[in-house]
Structure 1
């Protein structure tokens, strides 16, 4: 399943926008130099290892926050529900490890791109390893290995805007690669070589420059694009501030655009706090798990923001069988609509077999 990718480097024929960066006191912005500098940072940064013990409590809290009625008891949770890795493998960051907006400095490509958004990603579950080994028994140990993709095919990319002479619409894309292994952080070298990988994930982040305008600018004016499909299944949800706070707490996410209305409005130009990109992924996986098939893979793109206290709807549509599809597999169109049917997230997924 191919991920929708931005171009590796887009440069206007005439580059006239000038601005100051945090690494240089003066001079023109050079996209090639910036790209090389960002790649050097990520290539010289060792992978991050994030351990977790799979206890049912965090998974149960997540389930209760999304589906408060009829939630399972801890004893009924056997395997880590697909998507619930989001609340187990996020590092606790110290003050020196966070940007001023609360985001992870390890993912930052460098100034002047100081605003971050979650652009999309993909998750692949390795079966039968996942359902057999990712057990919520309070004993199972797993390790997430995270690195920024920075090889020759890197998705650390600079996209400049020809339509904005001041460069305010320029963007930098950073792609994280994550592998989830069975095993402990203190495993021996021999044990590490025998680790079983149960899941792989890619996360695409987009970084933008500081806004010159605040409340009422175009950050709050989402594009009104509607989904071209008719859903076979819908899952409505009201993303309350309490839900966003709970999810931020479970994911150790201190990004202020999800927590602080004044910051979101005055510093980022949004009309309210935003629904987390990782939460939209969790919601799509919840909807897919409810259709009677374990999830093989999902790929998604965030297209426009969703806001606190505005209803959203997760939508699924079964795709027609295509030649070459394996027996028992089902492909899906999956998307999330905001108020008035506005398309906020779109993706595709493949399920098979029995639900986890």
Structure 2
């Protein structure tokens, strides 16, 4: 286990209702949110942007590692999953502060070669109260080997109590990238996604899939206290997906039956 970088960053932002409404529209919802309303779960991803000059970006469009995220010497970044604890509602129209720290950084060797696992912890405060704690799990790995066999993803579970099909396209991925200020090129630069990182298309954001599952869980189960999710296999922008729920367990099924994400509310 490498010592985690204990650099703490603090960012303040106003929970702008217009940005939350734009997110609703991008997801096919009516733009109903107004000042004073509770922010829907995971919509805090729309705030606390970290603008970095172009010469401070890596080849993938993300800010170069170092500082809060240690440099583990591996080029490909993926958001592998996360956990959230909801303590109190964040309110639109008011300022909030996010306090972030790198909680863990670990190098390992897997079946596909060297891997690095990084866990960030974010706390979001508003009006002197802790509203949200989030753990963000990142994985870094080497560039793909064109001659290596493709991993076979597991099949999704059966027996869902509720299902809903969702579709994605390049425009939605661009809009979500813009709303979250996410410069990762695998979501909007198809030649880069295909030729450099070895994907079969633009990659649907893991957090966007998690966002769909959280809204489904809240609609079916009521206000969320906790939510945990883990990405299993990537979904491409041209693929339809099915959101599934059985009790408090949720998952995303790809069009070929593979498991793309699993979660628990």
Fold agreement, TM-score > 0.5: yes
Cα displacement string for residues 220-279 of structure 1 (whole angstroms, at most 9, x for unaligned residues): x45242223411112211111111000000010000111100001110111111011111
Q: Which has the higher helix share?
A: 1
Cα RMSD between the aligned structures? 2.0
Q: Which has the larger radius of gyration?
A: 1
Aligned to 2:44: 85
Q: Structure 1 residues 108 and 145, CA, compared in 2 at 3 Å: closer, same or farther?
A: closer
Do the aligned partners of 2:35 and 2:91 also contact (CA within 8 Å) in 1? no
Q: Which has the higher strand share?
A: 2
Corresponding position: 1:202 with 2:135: yes
Aligned to 1:158: 107
Corresponding position: 1:135 with 2:91: yes
Give distance in 2, aligned partners of 1:236 and 1:64.
18
Q: Structure 1 residues 289 and 77, CA, compared in 2 at 3 Å: closer, same or farther?
A: farther
Aligned to 1:147: 101
Tell me how far 1:341 sits from its aligned partner: 1.8
Aligned to 1:189: none
Which contiguous aligned blocks of 4+ residues in structure 1 show a shift greater than 3 angstroms? 74-77, 106-109
**1:1-356 correspondence to structure 2 within 5 Å:** 35=2, 39=4, 42-43=5-6, 46-68=7-29, 71-75=30-34, 78-106=37-65, 108-110=69-71, 112-126=73-87, 129-130=88-89, 134-136=90-92, 138=93, 140-149=94-103, 154=104, 156-161=105-110, 163=111, 169-183=113-127, 195-213=128-146, 218=149, 221=150, 223-318=152-247, 332-349=248-265
Q: What SS does the corresponding residue of 1:211 show, helix, strand or coil?
A: coil
Cα displacement string for residues 18-40 of structure 1 (whole angstroms, at most 9, x for unaligned residues): xxxxxxxxxxxxxxxxx35xx4x
* Structure 1 unaligned blocks of 5 or more: 1-7, 9-34, 184-194, 319-331, 350-356
Do the aligned partners of 2:72 and 2:116 also contact (CA within 8 Å) in 1? no
Tell me how far 1:206 sits from its aligned partner: 0.3
Q: Structure 1 residues 56 and 229, CA, compared in 2 at 3 Å: closer, same or farther?
A: same
Q: What SS does the corresponding residue of 1:263 show, helix, strand or coil?
A: helix
Tell me how far 1:159 sits from its aligned partner: 1.2
How many aligned residue pairs are there?
263
* Structure 2 unaligned blocks of 5 or more: none
Do the aligned partners of 2:122 and 2:134 also contact (CA within 8 Å) in 1? yes
Tell me how far 1:90 sits from its aligned partner: 3.2
Q: What SS does the corresponding residue of 2:83 show, helix, strand or coil?
A: strand
Q: Structure 1 residues 141 and 204, CA, compared in 2 at 3 Å: closer, same or farther?
A: same
TM-score (norm. length: structure 1): 0.69
Tell me how far 1:292 sits from its aligned partner: 4.7
Q: Structure 1 residues 158 and 296, CA, compared in 2 at 3 Å: closer, same or farther?
A: same
Tell me how far 1:108 sits from its aligned partner: 4.6
